């Protein structure tokens, strides 16, 4: 299902898109974790790719995503926390990424990066680190399919939500409504059942939930509870 179909679904149902973050999964049982997501109400699977340069951590790359793509039924939402993402966009497209998000802070030629992603047949997202103001994206908001607000400092899971992220989401949503932009607003970092309603009320369309899903006693039930938030 393409990202525009999700926009229609969201507007009709007023339910958030849930994108469990695989970074918090049990990698010794990765196939089982992917099957659990297949069986869940989550629409997307969020995949964080880290290179040890842009962020102080290393996660996984194209080969893992290719294997995940072979067994998942979900939209693959790939978040590149890497330097020089333009060098690898084609490889991630071949691996099965449906959405490819790059960081504003990692792109010298952001508009060119966005066009490259689209030309490769993927939906294009742009992520903002906590310290980056949203006005830096104003010239490309009409071009992107998704804006990812990082509500923790990128690189590690399990961090606490940064409170002022809520104001960034509200301001971004105001720009979106004023200009009739079609991008989705995604939030990643410290998302829980406790703060999810506030995020949705602020304008969030997509909730990335890592530890709150995979570390819960019943991940399927947790995802269902996220889906019920309105």
The Cα–Cα gap between 34 and 40 comes to 10
Confidence category of residue 158, pLDDT binned at 50, 70, 90? low
Domain ranges of the chain: 3-227
> Above 50 in pLDDT, residue 2?
no
Annotated catalytic residue, options 51, 188, 201, 205: 188
32 assigned to active site = no
26 assigned to active site = no
Q: Average pLDDT, whole number, for the chain?
A: 92
> Above 80 in pLDDT, residue 12?
no
> Above 70 in pLDDT, residue 199?
yes
- Lowest mean pLDDT of 8-22, 86-100, 178-192, name the range: 8-22
Q: Give domain 3-227's CATH architecture.
A: Alpha-Beta Barrel (3.20)
Annotated catalytic residue, options 26, 48, 51, 77: 48
Confidence category of residue 69, pLDDT binned at 50, 70, 90? very high
The Cα–Cα gap between 21 and 187 comes to 11
- Positive or negative, the Cα torsion across 91, 93, 97, 101? positive
pTM: 0.92
Strand, helix or coil for residue 149: strand
Question: For residues 148 and 186, is the Cβ–Cβ distance under 8 A?
Answer: yes
Cα separations in angstroms, 155 against 19, 52, 81, 151, 177: 18, 9, 8, 12, 31
* Per-residue pLDDT reduced to its tens digit, 104-157: 999 999 999 999 999 999 999 999 999 999 999 999 999 999 999 999 887 666
Confidence category of residue 8, pLDDT binned at 50, 70, 90? very low
């Amino acid at each position: 299902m393409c990202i525009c179909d999700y926009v229609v679904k969201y507007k009709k149902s007023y339910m958030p898109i849930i994108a469990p973050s695989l970074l918090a999964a049990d990698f010794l049982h990765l196939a089982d974790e992917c099957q659990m997501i297949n069986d869940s109400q989550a629409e997307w699977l969020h995949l964080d790719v880290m290179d040890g340069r842009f962020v102080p951590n290393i996660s996984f790359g194209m080969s893992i995503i290719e294997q995940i793509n072979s067994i998942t039924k979900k939209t693959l939402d790939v978040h590149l926390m890497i330097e020089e993402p333009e060098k690898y966009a084609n490889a991630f497209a071949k691996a099965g990424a449906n959405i490819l998000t790059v960081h504003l802070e990692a792109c010298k030629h952001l508009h060119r990066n966005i066009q490259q992603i689209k030309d490769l047949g993927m939906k294009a997202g742009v992520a903002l680190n906590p310290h980056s103001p949203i006005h830096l994206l104003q010239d490309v908001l009409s071009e992107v399919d998704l804006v990812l607000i990082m509500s923790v400092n990128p690189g590690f899971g399990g961090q606490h939500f940064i409170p002022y992220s809520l104001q960034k989401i509200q301001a971004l949503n105001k720009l979106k409504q004023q200009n009739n932009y079609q991008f989705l607003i995604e939030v990643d970092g410290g998302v829980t059942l406790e703060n999810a309603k506030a995020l949705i009320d602020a304008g969030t369309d997509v909730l990335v939930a890592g530890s709150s899903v995979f570390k819960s006693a019943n991940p399927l039930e947790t995802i269902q509870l996220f889906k019920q938030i309105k």
